């Protein structure tokens, strides 16, 4: 199984509507794969917010309306922020029947009031156990950060280093939400508190965007990237149901399965895209994925091990934090970045040794996690 085509729009506050974003990403992926839409036998569409934020469900049929004369199955997948990671997992399974399928992730988040958008995003969490008590997502991740600090000695300076690295990488990514925006340590440290200890620059932005992948049973050419593993796990939706909130059991289980499928250990990974919806989430991910022991991720950040020239470059395109987080598109966007790196096409942010890459896509607060591993052939 291979990734034979990728396509991504600019991420940010965009003038295009959801259909236009979807069409652009699809066309870019087809062009990248040197394929036509007639070559695609099924499409898996991931979207989270169109129903609640735009009163538009039945997204799969909306995509069909962009493809006149095309008569194929189109299926919508929704697992909150892990939607396109889950869509990729389903697409890979479907290759037992199809030769070429497409994964399309898209979200239009701008144009909606902040209070309304906050309520829409909160639908990915537990209404009864968490949100009725005021524990929306920034508060959830703030609690995780507080516990990580108490248990392992993590500091706000560590979180700031993650944010600073993300923005430096995004400056080298022309499609990133914060491309070419200079962000300094002082800007991060002086930004408003959102939920203690998280500041504004610890949080991913509201973004529009779309990303598409073409998944094929057979290798097409030298730019095809092999899929070594695809694992998906689902955990409890509420933090109140967990004994330890500094680790996501679903992430650890998905990672273990993915490594087993690929026949490798975490130290074989050259580059990773992890789900840094908040800066603390990157620290949790580094530990859950087995790159280091519990509590040691802060040392990795302090020593620069996750920088572009470090031992394990993480979120080379800026991550959710600075590349952007159009929810339904995020997992597919992570794959686009890994494929670009493995193809040696990342330009100024190219990692020198990038042969095996991993993506880690999380829905809610560790409620759904998809982990994929890829290899340059």
- 197: cis peptide before it, omega within 30°? yes
Catalytic residue of the set 22, 81, 277, 336: 81
Catalytic residue of the set 148, 177, 275, 325: 325
Q: List the one residue out of 51, 98, 102 whose CA is nearest residue 78.
A: 51
Is 81 one of the annotated active-site residues of the chain? yes
Which residues are designated catalytic? 81, 325
């Amino acid at each position: 199984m291979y990734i034979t085509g990728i396509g991504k729009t600019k991420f940010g506050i965009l003038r295009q509507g959801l259909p236009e974003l979807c069409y652009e990403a699809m066309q870019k992926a087809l062009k990248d794969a040197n394929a036509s839409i007639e070559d695609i036998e099924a499409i898996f569409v991931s979207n989270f917010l169109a129903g609640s934020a735009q009163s538009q469900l039945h997204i799969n049929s909306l995509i069909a309306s962009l493809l006149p004369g095309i008569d194929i199955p189109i299926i919508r997948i929704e697992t909150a922020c892990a939607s396109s990671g889950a869509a990729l997992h389903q697409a890979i399974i479907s290759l037992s029947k199809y030769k070429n399928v497409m994964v399309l992730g898209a979200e239009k988040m701008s144009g909606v009031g902040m209070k309304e958008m906050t309520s829409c995003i909160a639908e990915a969490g537990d209404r009864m156990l968490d949100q009725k008590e005021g524990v929306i997502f920034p508060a959830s991740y703030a609690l995780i950060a507080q516990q990580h600090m108490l248990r392992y000695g993590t500091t706000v300076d560590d979180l700031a280093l993650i944010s600073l690295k993300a923005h430096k990488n995004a400056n080298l990514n022309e499609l990133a939400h914060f491309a070419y925006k200079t962000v300094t340590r002082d800007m991060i440290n002086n930004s408003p508190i959102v939920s203690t200890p998280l500041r504004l620059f610890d949080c991913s932005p509201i973004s529009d965007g779309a990303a598409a992948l073409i998944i094929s049973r057979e290798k097409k050419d030298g730019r095809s990237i092999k899929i070594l593993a695809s694992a998906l796990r689902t955990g409890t939706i509420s933090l109140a149901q967990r004994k330890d909130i500094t680790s996501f059991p679903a992430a650890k289980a998905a990672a273990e399965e993915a490594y087993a499928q690929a026949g490798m250990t975490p130290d074989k990974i050259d580059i990773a895209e992890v789900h840094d919806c908040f800066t603390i989430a990157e620290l949790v991910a580094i530990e859950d994925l087995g790159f280091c022991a519990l509590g040691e991720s802060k040392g990795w950040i302090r020593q620069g091990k996750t920088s572009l020239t470090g031992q394990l470059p993480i979120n080379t395109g800026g991550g959710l934090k600075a590349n952007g987080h159009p929810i339904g598109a995020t997992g597919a966007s992570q794959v686009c970045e890994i494929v670009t790196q493995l193809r040696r096409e990342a330009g100024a942010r190219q990692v020198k040794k990038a042969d095996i890459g991993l993506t880690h896509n999380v829905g809610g607060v560790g409620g759904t996690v998809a982990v994929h591993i890829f290899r340059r052939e």
